[in-house]
Chain A
Amino acid sequence: MQNEKMIVCRCEEVTYKELMETKKTYNCSARELKLRTRAGMGYCGGRTCRGMIDKIAMFQDSPKNNKEVSLKYQPPIRPVSFTDLGGVKQ
């Protein structure tokens, strides 16, 4: 297996190659990279791959924003079952 086939976002099964190519084609921000590839939009809410998406987005001279978190966090920050979310009592 080569680096290219390596999975970065496990939930959405987005590869390193796909992310690097998207970055090279559009020279996009972390947020745009997420929206274009769905990396970080899966079940875990980007808990695992967020930092990697950030790093890929910073590849090629993109300046680091040190005053704002680059990828927005949204609740729920932990998975919640539909039963619990809907307040359905078993």
Chain B
Amino acid sequence: MNKVIIIGAGPSGLEAAITCREQGLDVLVLDEYMIAGGRLLGQLYEQPDGTWWNGLEESKIRYEKALELGTRFLLNTPVNNIVQTNEHWTVYTDTESFTAKHLLLATGAAETPVPVPGWTLPGVMSVGAAQVMTNVHRVKPGNRGVIIGVNVLSTAIAMELKLAGIEVVAMTLPVNSQVTNESSQPKEVMNSLLHVSHMAPSKFIKLGSRLMKNDFMKNMGVTFFPKTGVKIWDIPIQLRKAVVEIYGDNEVQGVIVATIDSKGDVVGGSEEKIKADFVCIAGGLYPLAELAAVAGCSFYYSEELGGYVPLHSERMETNLDGLYVAGNITGIEGAKVAIAQGKTAGLTIAHHAGIPGLEKDIQTSIESIERARDKAYIQFHPGVKKGKELLLAEWQNRLGE
């Protein structure tokens, strides 16, 4: 029997593995992908101090450190079920099952699909898939792409595609429907972009972020948003246009875009074709919490955190004995927050495994999560701090019941 099993070899899972090994615990890490690193693998951006954050390198450093410390890894191994029996957890994979007293879910996040007519054609992919193809496998997803969905993630990935020499001919919104809602509303999108304006070398967006503090100004901003779009890294971002259809006979040949009004409704007769050989759909991220749901964890829905998250303490414990969470399963945030959470989870597990004298380290580690959050370069949701506070209040509330 293993002492600790960690599901997910992303930033938080790797950090938790390193922390547990440093405390002398036996650790097995499982991940469904063939390379350790999780979503960290695809990241590539310039930091405010001018240095580059290369997720591929960061992943490798942490993976090798965990290996050196004697962590066991099983990659390319999806977990399809977890069950709690008596005093331990059983983790099921396709061919084998494993047991452990302590189980950490560091399963990260998945992409929210945004359906647009024609989205089932070959050549349509999620923006994260395009990122992994480009940055991890070094394969171009195509030569001429259109990105549907304007948000923090897609803006960052558009820049990465550009670095790889792939032309992004347009970034625009999905056509309005019951299943696209906020992502098809120019005002909502504008609002979320304002929070990342520091990354965007565009005068319009930078100027906008200072001016558009109230609703009236935001409406005006959307109304006067140039029809031809605003260029960021030479990629035209269009908030006043939406893709109404992806067309092609057997594969993507292009998209039909139309002008939309400030509410997101299509202006009839404004349709035009844009040729492309691949289309990325960017609906943002949500916490991947399937295993926590199967296990029977209590949940809480938080818009700010990206969806349903398992209720958990500051120390990363869930309401089930021996089950812990860390990383994006607890809410959508950057890799640095995930790393700090992984460390906290690792220390908490070591504490529960009977290693004495960790209380101070745990408290310091909890504080470092907060610090990483405050210093985060990219905030996926402006209200993430509030979301975390509400979640913690709910945890304490239900604990009292």
Flag the segment in B114-122, B322-330, B354-362, B376-384 that touches A: B114-122
From residue 47 to 77 of chain A, which have CB atoms closer than 8 A to chain B? 47-49, 51-52, 55-56, 59, 64-69, 72-77
In the assembled complex, which residues on chain B have CB atoms less than 8 Å from the CB atom of A6? 115-119, 177
A9 to B286, CA, bound (A): 18
Q: Which of A2, A3, A47, A73 has the most CB of B within 10 A?
A: A3
A57 — nearest CB in chain B belongs to which residue? B178
Binding site for B on A (CB under 8 A): 1-3, 5-8, 10, 16, 20, 47-49, 51-52, 55-56, 59, 64-69, 72-78, 80-81, 84
Give the size category of B's interface with A.
35 or more
Q: Is the CB of B120 within 8 A of A77?
A: no
Distance between A56 CB and nearest chain B CB, rounded to angstroms: 6
Q: Is the CB of B117 within 8 A of A56?
A: no
Q: Is the CB of B113 within 8 A of A78?
A: no
A81 to B95, CA, bound (A): 10
A84 to B115, CA, bound (A): 33
**Beyond known contacts A7-B119, A10-B120, A78-B79: 13 more, CB 8 A cutoff:** A1-B117, A1-B118, A1-B247, A3-B175, A6-B115, A6-B116, A6-B118, A16-B178, A59-B178, A67-B299, A77-B290, A77-B291, A84-B94
In the assembled complex, which residues on chain B have CB atoms less than 8 Å from the CB atom of A8? 115, 179
Main secondary structure of the interface of A (DSSP, over half): loop
Q: Is the CB of B290 within 8 A of A55?
A: no
In the assembled complex, which residues on chain B have CB atoms less than 8 Å from the CB atom of A68? 299
From residue 258 to 312 of chain B, which have CB atoms closer than 8 A to chain A? 286, 289-291, 293-294, 298-302, 307-308
A84 to B96, CA, bound (A): 9
A78 to B92, CA, bound (A): 11
Q: Is the CB of B301 within 8 A of A64?
A: yes
Q: Is the CB of A51 within 8 A of B94?
A: no
B307 — nearest CB in chain A belongs to which residue? A51
From residue 354 to 400 of chain B, which have CB atoms closer than 8 A to chain A? none
A31 to B32, CA, bound (A): 28
Say yes or no for B112: interface residue by CB 8 A criterion: yes
